[in-house]
Chains A and B, each alone.
Chain A
Amino acid sequence: MWKVRRKWQHMGAFSIGREVKEAVHAVTPEAMDAWPGGWPQSAGEFERLADVYLERLVIYASRRLGSVHDAEDAVQDVFVRAFMIRRKCEGISQVGAYLYRMTSNACTDVLRKRKGRKALLSLMEADGESAPSSQSSPSEALRVAEEASRAEQLLQHLPQAQAEAIRLRVFGELDLNEIAEVTECSTNTVNSRLRYGFRKLRRIVAKEWKS
């Protein structure tokens, strides 16, 4: 269920090897216009839309939620909701951007629901039940959940817009143009949000590390 990959960490060493670049290109979503048509209207069109976006949205959601099980449920709900509102959205062309926004909202809802509950425990149980795979173990699922929770706690220090830009960049692996489309602002604004957000996070981490 889980495989080791930590793409952004490679760059921290300031030495980018060829295989890292290739790996990045292999999984980085194409431009947001990977779905050139308007809002799909039939189940068949949604099937093709799923081919384009399903996996990348689940990856984005699972990094935010720390649970593939919850991420798949959330993205499934997003697709069903996108289908249900298809007539209302007929004139919308930026389907990918909307899907990312809907997934982001769905993740926020899941995280909100978890508040006040013993989230990590339930996550561990949920993943253990749903995917007893040879590669996953409760302790691994717990670790993933803890990491996601820690990342989310860190991002809570930032204004919403900066946090969202960083989530889309790191968890969603979107480029600046794509983030601009999802968050409906200019690429310059995205760039500023990433710079200032990351600078603030670095300071928080450095301070905590020091103490």
Chain B
Amino acid sequence: MNCRQVQECLDDLLSAGPGHAVEPNVTEHLAHCARCQREHEAAIRTLALLQPSVEAETSTNLKERVMKAIEAAEYEESHKPERIWFGAKVWKPMFVAGLAAVFALVVAASILFKPSDRVYAIEQTIEANRSLRSIHMKMTPEKFGSVDEVWAQFDENGELENLRMNFPDTEDGPKDVVWENGKAEVWFKAKGSAVVVKEPRLLERMKMSYGDFDPKRIVEGLYRSRADKRVRVDVVEPQTRDGEITLTVTVDAAPNRQDVYTVSPETKLLERHEVYRLRDGNYELDGSTEYLEYNEPIDPVVFTLEAPADAMRIDQTVQEIGIAQGDLSDKEIAVKVVREFFEALIAKDYAKAGQLLEGMPANKVEEFLGGWLNVVRIVSIGEPTPYAPNESLRVPCKVEVESDGKTSIMEPHGPFVRQVYQQPGRWDICGGI
């Protein structure tokens, strides 16, 4: 056996696996070749560096913990107040009727079950929320993918008019989202780009995200859940003049969670919502929402993103993105988009490549991709497969790229191709390059 063959055996160590039987002549070669011996030692050292010297033992109650968390999630999911939005014609009358029924119930309940021993009743907060015109809230701690500050403004019918949500840490880096006049604008701070879209699904998602913190929805949901005996609400009245009303909410199905709401004795509005999780026998604060200002005029600047003038701005409401699907199937159009994108890069047609990449301006495509992604040839484009996380099709492909006079094969982890928001029948690449 020669040195090259021994090197190949070393290359194959990881692929072969720990149960791999080594040919005796490798050992024989190592005994006589100092160079291969050094390589062998480096391989052992590399394995030692990669592998921990001690092994973890999982907690004995881990499965129980996970199942409790799943049960709690299932409970929360099934008892979330319904999210009905005004866009669907079918639901609107039902929603109005439901609202009227809830109102009637609230009035009846407040007459029939006038609290004798308590000054405060949840109905008072429901009533106080009726005059909600604007709100500003903050969430802590900062969590990956979660919003940390929200401003919302409502019209005279109580419908959401303007909304701003700041996300400090997401897969795209920090981003701020503003919804105004039916359009959503997203400012990707780390990428220095802003995107404007007018897409009902996105707007609905924003409303749903807001719904998680909406004090009106929370309190009405609490009221219904308590009436249905699905939750236990312990109300503690303030003991001093400056004290607060607290509502501690527990659910038998989710014993590891406790929600504490603080209510202002004066306005009866929610001031704070804290979530506690049971860890090692104690409830520990997991996160909180502070309801900072109700009905204070919000500076219009809040609903204007601070993207600098030179930031890349893609307005998908006025610009045609991607390519038309025509008679092609979803998979066929996905392949076509990817093929045309790489062909455009090969031809240095950055305007075309940008049109296929979320409408990115040509100069930005050149700036972001032109420098390092010097594609010279498409090697292969495979069968697209559904990719659930961003509701797209992943199109596996290989391209030959050139760098410093050398060529190599690159396999992007995408590309992900999907229908362009609000542009029916058009498809583009939404990431994964």
Q: Give the B-binding residues of A (Cβ under 8 A).
A: 1-16, 20-21, 24-25, 43, 46-47, 50-51, 54-55, 58-59, 62-63, 66, 68, 71-72, 75-76, 79-80, 83-85, 88-89, 91-92, 109, 113, 130-131, 135, 140, 143-144, 147-148, 150-151, 154-155, 160-161, 166, 169-170, 175-176, 184-185, 189-191, 194-195, 197-199, 201-203, 205-206, 209
- Contact A202 B20, CB 8 Å, known A63-B52, A185-B411: no
- A–B pairs, 18, beta carbons within 8 Å: A4-B54, A6-B48, A9-B48, A20-B18, A43-B74, A55-B62, A58-B56, A59-B58, A68-B56, A72-B59, A75-B66, A84-B77, A92-B388, A161-B411, A169-B15, A175-B17, A198-B14, A202-B46
Partner among A3, A51, A84, A150 whose Cβ is within 8 Å of the Cβ of B49: A150
B53 at interface, CB cutoff 8 A: yes
- Which B residues are CB-close (under 8 A) to A205? 42, 45-46, 49
The segment out of B5-13, B117-125, B210-218 that lies at the interface is: B5-13
Nearest Cβ on chain A to B58's Cβ, whole angstroms: 5
Residues 18-50 of B, flagged 1 when their CB comes within 8 A of A and 0 if not, give 111110001100100000001110111111111
Residues 274-313 of B, flagged 1 when their CB comes within 8 A of A and 0 if not, give 0000001000000000000000000000000000000000
Nearest Cβ on chain A to B154's Cβ, whole angstroms: 29
- Which A residues are CB-close (under 8 A) to B10? 199, 202
Contact A202 B74 (CB under 8 A): no
Contact A140 B54 (CB under 8 A): yes
B83 at interface, CB cutoff 8 A: no
- Which B residues are CB-close (under 8 A) to A68? 56-59
Contact B15 A194 (CB under 8 A): yes
B362 at interface, CB cutoff 8 A: no
- Contact A202 B48, CB 8 Å, known A68-B59, A72-B58: no
B364 at interface, CB cutoff 8 A: no
- Contact A16 B21, CB 8 Å, known A184-B396, A198-B11, A198-B14: yes
- Extra A-B contacts (11), CB below 8 Å, given A6-B53, A13-B44, A16-B18: A11-B17, A25-B19, A55-B62, A59-B56, A92-B386, A143-B54, A154-B49, A154-B50, A195-B12, A198-B43, A209-B45
Contact B55 A4 (CB under 8 A): yes
Contact B12 A72 (CB under 8 A): no
- Which A residues are CB-close (under 8 A) to B396? 184-185
Q: How far is the CA of A57 from the CA of B294 in the complex (A)?
A: 45
Nearest Cβ on chain A to B338's Cβ, whole angstroms: 15
- Which A residues are CB-close (under 8 A) to B14? 166, 169-170, 194-195, 197-198
Q: How far is the CA of A193 from the CA of B252 in the complex (A)?
A: 50
For the complex of A and B, list the 9 residue pairs with the smallest distance between their C-beta atoms, beginning with the closest.
Answer: A12-B44, A206-B42, A62-B56, A2-B54, A5-B55, A14-B22, A194-B14, A68-B56, A195-B11
- Contact A202 B42, CB 8 Å, known A24-B19, A76-B66, A184-B394: yes
Give the one of B26, B70, B74, B411 with max A CB within 10 A: B70
Q: How far is the CA of A10 from the CA of B22 in the complex (A)?
A: 12
Nearest Cβ on chain B to A150's Cβ, whole angstroms: 6
Give the one of B14, B42, B144 with max A CB within 10 A: B14
Partner among A20, A43, A176 whose Cβ is within 8 Å of the Cβ of B67: A43
Contact B411 A189 (CB under 8 A): yes
- Which A residues are CB-close (under 8 A) to B11? 195, 198-199
- Which A residues are CB-close (under 8 A) to B18? 7-8, 10-11, 16, 20-21, 24
Nearest Cβ on chain A to B16's Cβ, whole angstroms: 8
Q: Give the A-binding residues of B (Cβ under 8 A).
A: 10-15, 17-22, 26-27, 30, 38-40, 42-59, 62-63, 65-67, 69-71, 73-74, 77, 144, 169, 280, 385-386, 388, 394, 396, 411, 413
- Which A residues are CB-close (under 8 A) to B62? 54-55, 58, 72, 76
Partner among B27, B39, B51, B74 whose Cβ is within 8 Å of the Cβ of A170: B51
Q: How far is the CA of A131 from the CA of B69 in the complex (A)?
A: 20
Q: How far is the CA of A143 from the CA of B17 in the complex (A)?
A: 26
- Which A residues are CB-close (under 8 A) to B48? 6, 9, 12
Q: How far is the CA of A72 from the CA of B61 in the complex (A)?
A: 11
Contact B47 A8 (CB under 8 A): yes
Nearest Cβ on chain B to A140's Cβ, whole angstroms: 7
Q: How far is the CA of A12 from the CA of B46 in the complex (A)?
A: 10
- Which B residues are CB-close (under 8 A) to A55? 58, 62
- Which A residues are CB-close (under 8 A) to B26? 14
Q: Which residue on A lies nearest to B73, using beta carbons?
A: A80
Q: How far is the CA of A15 from the CA of B26 in the complex (A)?
A: 11
Q: How far is the CA of A197 from the CA of B15 in the complex (A)?
A: 11
Contact A43 B12 (CB under 8 A): no
Partner among A21, A113, A203 whose Cβ is within 8 Å of the Cβ of B144: A113
Partner among A11, A189, A209 whose Cβ is within 8 Å of the Cβ of B47: A11
- Which A residues are CB-close (under 8 A) to B38? 206
Contact A76 B69 (CB under 8 A): yes
Q: Which residue on A lies nearest to B30, using beta carbons?
A: A14
Q: How far is the CA of A196 from the CA of B142 in the complex (A)?
A: 39
Q: How far is the CA of A168 from the CA of B192 in the complex (A)?
A: 34
Partner among A20, A50, A58, A176 whose Cβ is within 8 Å of the Cβ of B19: A20
Contact A12 B69 (CB under 8 A): no
Nearest Cβ on chain B to A48's Cβ, whole angstroms: 11
Contact B69 A79 (CB under 8 A): yes
- Which B residues are CB-close (under 8 A) to A62? 56
